[in-house]
Chain A
Amino acid sequence: DAGVIQSPRHEVTEMGQEVTLRCKPISGHDYLFWYRQTMMRGLELLIYFNNNVPIDDSGMPEDRFSAKMPNASFSTLKIQPSEPRDSAVYFCASSSRWSSYEQYFGPGTRLTVT
């Protein structure tokens, strides 16, 4: 298995632009998680899905952030409009129903908003 795939690996954009981050979870996994890593706050959970349904989005910082999972093999995290303080590394992770706590992370997307 290729593991969790994220694209792009790096994204540089100007303030006010829309940014879309993509994730393909491990095949057969039922859970998908989006995390953000910053120097100030470390790794924090933004939102997670179970069987493509958003379960908990309490970590999403603002209405500018939205996430979708249209099918079991694809999820997006969108920021519109983007701001410099959104600059961070965004990780996607997935896990199976049998051990939801053992999460497998993608390589991350490093977002820079200028």
Chain B
Amino acid sequence: DQQVKQNSPSLSVQEGRISILNCDYTNSMFDYFLWYKKYPAEGPTFLISISSIKDKNEDGRFTVFLNKSAKHLSLHIVPSQPGDSAVYFCAGEGGGADGLTFGKGTHLIIQP
């Protein structure tokens, strides 16, 4: 049972445009949602989080939106830069557990 789903394995966006990465979840007990970025041969790095009681959190070029009724969250990156090319993982935390439940990731490719 996949509690966190990222249905797009890859996404290609032109440099300077907006990148939108999507994530759906089934566990309504998650307290926090997080986005991690991963480069090849490195561990995931924390990017941005949002509490389940919020609907938006912004940090520089990165904004995460949460729609609890739809059990959907999205990460917006604007403007997209070449260094943003990486695999992005959506994760949920809570529901009685401290570990993270990850989606399978979306490979974002920023084209010049």
Contacts and interface: CB of A to CB of B under 8 A. Distances in A.
B83 interface: no
Interface of B is mostly: strand
A104 B104 CA distance: 18
A106 B41 CA distance: 11
Given A107-B41, A108-B43, A42 B103 contact: yes
A10 to B, nearest CB: 10
Contacts, number: 59
Contact of A43 (B46, B49, B102): B102
Interface of A is mostly: strand
B62 interface: no
Q: Which of B98, B102, B104 has the most CB of A within 10 A?
A: B98
A26 B41 CA distance: 20
Interface string B41-52: 111111001000
A43 B98 contact: no
Nearest to B44: A105
A4 B43 CA distance: 10
Given A43-B89, A91-B44, A102 B49 contact: yes
A108 B32 CA distance: 24
Nearest to A41: B104
15 contacts: A31-B98, A35-B100, A42-B103, A43-B100, A45-B101, A50-B98, A100-B93, A100-B98, A103-B46, A104-B45, A104-B46, A106-B43, A107-B42, A107-B43, A108-B42
